[in-house]
Chains A and B, each alone.
Chain A
């Protein structure tokens, strides 16, 4: 049975409808990441689960218990805020003990639980400090510790890493992943960073304009995007799209594409409710372009980025469509060069 279930969840702020009919099942122990561009409603959805916003319609249940009418503290959740939201006038210990103290837990147990949480996060030496005397990463850990102490059914993280610098973000990301393995608790994590989503998640929920675009494991989403948005959103550099028409295969799982001098058949077809001959877009990831002197795709290089591990070339084809190629080889290409590519239709997608 699902640990957390959302059914037909809707939310409006006045006339603005921000969450549309979201259905979601999250299993016990799963690490779920809500990802999407800013304004897609992912934080609002998290706040609805937390109980910080009231549902307009629909239902939410946590651990088989409807929670719509429960206050946040009774829902069995703990939340880590983007801004940490530490109580500045309390020591780290008191920050972590606050919720237990409010519940009337005995002093001895508070000590034991806070110290256990501090040990997990390796911050026993920080317990007597005030938040002002901590570094950004330490504050982040206190915020996580405050959540652990409550021993919740579901952990909620609202963009917890966006205030950290790049190096620390990576370390903390690894730490959160380890922590999840260690605690095994159900976790919902909101981010706009697809790298965090890909690396952390058991299950990714891609949101756009308050609607769920696709739910699935990271590689499932990467290899079989359910629509053009998901295809374009996940993966770096972004997937290349070429305009054309769908020649054959409507209604099936694979189709034939033609356009901009490209022709491919047996391509994975997404969006099957269009007839043959409709306008379609061919999507190929930059990593899947193959250097081939006789290939159908010709482009003029406009920018070459050498990242060490891979080389990213930005090109423009004859039809004026910009596209990218990423390859681990160190290519001897300079701006203005003509490069030709071929591709494997197996790794391409057609969207219509």
Chain B
């Protein structure tokens, strides 16, 4: 009973979490019109939609008695993608017919004509099938002008990757943002985890005066909010930048070309900031993992003649892979999704903007182009998912099996 309840609750939670993602992906794969006019949940079932088509192309046409054509062909003529398929339900007939009430007069009617029924178009008999085939027959050879007809089609679900092609290749914004995000995130993950692993080993297994107090200090840094530190950090970076500028002026002949200015906000400043704010948690997590490794293992390595560095590289690192993997996922996600630090500390150059800032900017430009917004969002989501899935195989249980009993 409780098991069933658990399963139901679990299924519900999964549903709640997966639903927005499904909505996002679905919308990004629909056509602009479809995503604007109907909700994503209608995208999976046939929907009745109205379309206008012309019987034939404008221009000279040979007189004919019978014209055969296909409504879908006519409709899809100007489309590269999201080609319409389905059943033709009806055509809205708008035209004048003899008025049965008033002899000799005509009246304007609007009427839905269904498949197989004969309709008078420019004096000819127009008949269509649900498959879209139509015949237009005249008593004698005529060359009529093209006629625009409104048709209701029970449309099959259609999906396409147009939105992705558009955001990735139409202009360079999203591609640039993707590259910038990688440039920021990869070093901002690797640098802190490297430093933290060394520090964690020292805190766990090397004895030096003040070790415990220093560790308490590091751990207490975890509660410092990022916002609190923005002002000093910015001041620090601009100080470094002006120092680097004068160094540049002194070392090179940049004054001639007026290129001495070193930017205070750059990828490097993001790396440093993310490293600084990621380190306390990283050291804390890794130290707690490393301190739990069996003491005999390290003692055995010492007897075997391993130095601290050799113990670290040949024992600690291979045995800490699960902890390293889980922290790198944390740090990757946090840096990848970070908006506020990137906004304050990162470069403001359009080409250097990271993904979250680009998304925020797209909210302004693509306000009513949901499919494009969603395509960008999906691209930004898909990277952490790939990272997570590829890191998952490092969560190895029983890594220490067989070491100590």
Contacts and interface: CB of A to CB of B under 8 A. Distances in A.
B399 interface: yes
Q: Which of B296, B402, B404 has the most CB of A within 10 A?
A: B402
Contacts of B399: 88-89
Given A88-B319, A102-B310, A139 B300 contact: no
B302 A73 contact: yes
Contacts of A52: 299, 302-303
Given A83-B296, A87-B315, A72 B402 contact: no
B296 A102 contact: no
A131 B304 contact: no
A131 B402 contact: yes
Interface stretch (A74-82, A198-206, A308-316): A74-82
Contacts of B228: none
A195 interface: no
Contacts of B304: 73, 98-99, 102, 146, 150
A85 B404 contact: yes
B254 interface: no
Interface in A291-324: none
Nearest to A147: B303
Given A131-B402, A139-B402, A85 B305 contact: no
Contacts of A167: none
A157 interface: no
B400 interface: yes
B402 A133 contact: yes
Contacts of A72: 299, 302-303
Contacts of B404: 81, 83-86
A77 B303 contact: yes
Interface in B292-324: 294, 296-297, 299-306, 310, 314-315, 318-319
A103 B305 contact: yes
B398 interface: yes
B403 A87 contact: yes
Contacts of B306: 73, 98, 102
Contacts of A77: 303
A136 interface: yes
Nearest to B299: A52
Q: Which of B305, B315, B319 has the most CB of A within 10 A?
A: B305
A84 B403 contact: yes
B367 interface: no
Given A89-B399, A132-B398, A84 B305 contact: no
Contact of B401 (A79, A103, A132): A132
A146 B302 CA distance: 13
B405 interface: yes
Nearest to B403: A88
Contacts of B303: 50-52, 72-73, 77-79, 99
Interface in B124-181: none
Contact of A84 (B310, B314, B398, B405): B405
Q: Which size class do B's interface residues fall under?
A: 20 to 34
B405 A139 contact: yes
A134 B304 CA distance: 22
Contacts of A163: 405
Nearest to A139: B402
A130 interface: yes
B321 to A, nearest CB: 9
A234 B403 CA distance: 33
Interface string A122-146: 0000000011111010010000001
Contacts of B296: 81-85
A89 B318 contact: yes
Contacts of B302: 52, 71-73
B305 A73 contact: yes
B325 to A, nearest CB: 15
Contact of A85 (B297, B310, B318, B398): B297
Q: Which of B304, B399, B403, B405 has the most CB of A within 10 A?
A: B304
A3 B398 CA distance: 42
A81 B302 CA distance: 13
B301 A98 contact: yes
Contacts of A78: 303
B300 A85 contact: yes
Contacts of B319: 88-89
A96 to B, nearest CB: 10
B234 to A, nearest CB: 44
A205 B25 CA distance: 75
Interface in B353-405: 398-405
A207 B302 CA distance: 27
A77 B305 CA distance: 11
A142 to B, nearest CB: 9
Given A84-B403, A139-B405, A102 B305 contact: yes
Interface string A54-85: 00000000000000000111100111011111
B34 to A, nearest CB: 54
Interface in B271-308: 294, 296-297, 299-306
A132 B405 contact: no
A274 B3 CA distance: 76
B22 to A, nearest CB: 41
A103 B303 CA distance: 12
A130 B402 contact: yes
Contacts of B305: 71, 73-74, 99, 102-103
Interface in A142-163: 146, 150, 163
A70 to B, nearest CB: 11
A123 B376 CA distance: 59
Interface in B325-340: none
Nearest to B297: A85
Contacts of A85: 294, 296-297, 299-300, 403-404
A86 B403 contact: yes
A52 B205 CA distance: 13
Interface in B13-33: none
Given A73-B302, A130-B402, 12 more contacts: A52-B303, A71-B302, A73-B306, A77-B303, A81-B299, A81-B300, A81-B404, A86-B403, A99-B303, A102-B310, A146-B300, A163-B405
Interface of A: 50-52, 71-74, 77-79, 81-89, 98-99, 102-103, 130-134, 136, 139, 146, 150, 163
11 contacts: A73-B302, A77-B303, A79-B303, A83-B405, A87-B297, A89-B319, A102-B306, A130-B402, A131-B401, A132-B398, A150-B304
- Which 7 A-B residue pairings sit nearest by Cβ, starting from the closest? A131-B402, A73-B305, A132-B402, A99-B304, A83-B404, A85-B296, A88-B403
